[in-house]
A and B are shown apart, each in its own frame.
Chain A
Amino acid sequence: MTLLEVSDLVVRHGQLTAVEGVRLSVDAGAAVAVVGANGAGKSTLLRTISGLHHPAAGRIRYDGQDVTSVSTHERVRRGLVMVPEGRRLFPSMTVEENLLVGAAVGRSGDWSLDRVYELFPWMTERRGQATGLLSGGEQQGVAIGRALMTNPRVLLLDEISLGLAPVAVQRIYSQLPDLLAAGMTALIVEQDVRQALRYASHVVCLLEGRMTLEGPPAAFTPEQIEAAYFGFMGADEAGATA
């Protein structure tokens, strides 16, 4: 069943067209990765899906309904939740208070403080600390925990590896299979292609706002993905958009 569907999306920042004609569909329980270089429009795409940008054209359908003009907090209340780039924790609050802000949405589900602490066992001890004292990887854990506290159906993960040590990235991503097994759907935006492809069942590559490649990761050679990522479209690879 298609849970999230983006059709012919165009997003502009003033004169600049950041996303042009992107199509994308995410089945319930699947993990889809959007990869691309810096400035390819990945984050803009994700922010538009979460309602922070308004598209110039195109539609976003979620759970059978058109949500293109629905506010961000209402999308969260319906279960379409983003983990923003750069964590964006609330600096004046403790770890636990950050998590509780997510719970205030009041969406029913089985996520609770206890279950988040089970997923990230180190958090229990540090629940009363200000988030500024945490390492980058730990902050990312809190950001994911805060999103989980809203009881999401679809998690939009925006560059969760950015600025983290490789071991921290590994640790964060290793939680993903458990979440997917619990029925979560994920749309992952990453610069780190290898990380994204390890867990995704479907990959979309963006270059300067346009889709250059789409399909299951196994269908492509690393060279094809590299070409789509950087835009070296050789004569024999021009047809790689499957």
Chain B
Amino acid sequence: MSWVNAVAQGILLGGLFAMFACGLSLLFGVIGVINLAHGDFAVLGAYLVIAIIPSVAFNAMWAVLFVIPIFAVLGYALQRTVLQRSIEIDPLTSLLVTFGLSVVIENGLLEKYSNDSQSLDVGGLVRSALHVNSQISLSWLNIGILVLAVIVLSAVQLFLGRTSMGRQIRAVADDREAAEIAGVRTKHVAGIAAAVAFATVALAGLCFGSVQQFSPYSGSSLLLFSFEAVIIGGLGSLWGTLAGGILLGVAQTVGAQIDPSSGQLAGHLVFLAILVLRPSGLFPARATA
């Protein structure tokens, strides 16, 4: 029964990974930037809550209302300034630039908040759980995060698939010059894609901060898990990303069940196995986002 529990916990953990991976996948698919500061931006989102919440003094969940818009604007601005220029030079430059952003964010947070672990207070939710039986109990917070991940991925999918702006984003992802020729304001559209990506990063960061403790350096492992979820699921497929996140989550919790210190190692091994056996991922999709 403890195995069933491990799998169930892994599935819930996978929702969080998928939400992280969504923004990474979107930014790479549309703009062609591999954002090495992805995890650090998520952690920055969580710290932003730490910075603001005490002065407002209510449940950290309300932070969603302001952190997400702030990150959307930040994403748009970064795209129109730093990211766009770096990718115009060459892809390597954009890697160096996002690596630089990562270093700046980590050290900036370290300077301000020291290396102490922090966590977000979401009130009683963190303790309440769904008791399936004596051995399996699922935290409502984790269930909520998985549901939220599915909602976010569905919303992004619908946005890209059904709206005019979504079509323009896919046009830019497919062929930037052809999009410009067809009258798409490609720079603005890429900015909107970055805004959406950053909004999901902020949300993922808040979810992460409410289930786990974090410190200024937590971002790099988040980046790694996001990469793994994207690669396992197949680049370009949002539902594949969800499956990839869940597989990674299950591998980690089941691995930890076998040997408590081997959870992350098990996740990496599954990732490597997929990379060797199915390099294009489980659900290689058409070339969208």
Write the nearest CB–CB distance from A60 to chain B, whole angstroms: 16
Q: Are B180 and A73 in contact (CB under 8 A)?
A: yes
Could you mark each residue 259-288 of chain B with 1 if its beta carbon is under 8 Å from any beta carbon of chain A, else 0? 000000000000000000000000000111
Write the nearest CB–CB distance from A151 to chain B, whole angstroms: 10
A117–B221 Cα distance when bound, in Å, is: 52
Give the contacts of A88-138 with B (CB-CB under 8 A).
88-93, 97, 100-105, 107, 130
A86–B183 Cα distance when bound, in Å, is: 17
Q: Are A90 and B183 in contact (CB under 8 A)?
A: no
State the total of A-B contacts with C-beta under 8 angstroms.
Answer: 74
Given known contacts A73-B186, A92-B286, A100-B164, A52 and B174 CB-to-CB distance under 8 angstroms = no
Which residues on A sit within 8 Å (CB–CB) of B186?
73
Which residues on B sit within 8 Å (CB–CB) of A103?
164
Contact of A104 among B164, B173, B175, B178 (CB under 8 A): B164
Given known contacts A92-B287, A104-B164, A52 and B171 CB-to-CB distance under 8 angstroms = no
Determine the interface band of chain A, counting residues with CB < 8 A from chain B: 20 to 34
Write the nearest CB–CB distance from B283 to chain A, whole angstroms: 15
Contact of A90 among B164, B178, B180 (CB under 8 A): B178
Which residues on A sit within 8 Å (CB–CB) of B179?
90, 101
A89–B170 Cα distance when bound, in Å, is: 12
Q: Is B185 an interface residue (CB 8 A)?
A: yes
A73–B185 Cα distance when bound, in Å, is: 6
Please classify the interface of chain B as helix (H, G, I), strand (E, B), loop, or mixed, using the class held by over half of its residues. helix
Q: Is A50 an interface residue (CB 8 A)?
A: yes
A77–B215 Cα distance when bound, in Å, is: 49
Q: Are A101 and B184 in contact (CB under 8 A)?
A: yes
A100–B168 Cα distance when bound, in Å, is: 9
Given known contacts A88-B175, A88-B177, A100-B164, A93 and B182 CB-to-CB distance under 8 angstroms = no
Q: Are A88 and B171 in contact (CB under 8 A)?
A: no
A107–B184 Cα distance when bound, in Å, is: 12
Which residues on A sit within 8 Å (CB–CB) of B287?
91-92
Q: Is A76 an interface residue (CB 8 A)?
A: yes
Q: Are A84 and B168 in contact (CB under 8 A)?
A: no
Contact of A100 among B167, B174, B181 (CB under 8 A): B167
Which residues on A sit within 8 Å (CB–CB) of B288?
92
Could you list 9 examples of A-B contacts with CB < 8 Å?
Answer: A81-B181, A82-B181, A91-B174, A92-B173, A92-B288, A93-B174, A101-B168, A101-B171, A101-B184
Closest 8 CB pairs of A and B: A76-B183, A105-B183, A88-B178, A90-B174, A92-B287, A72-B180, A92-B286, A101-B171
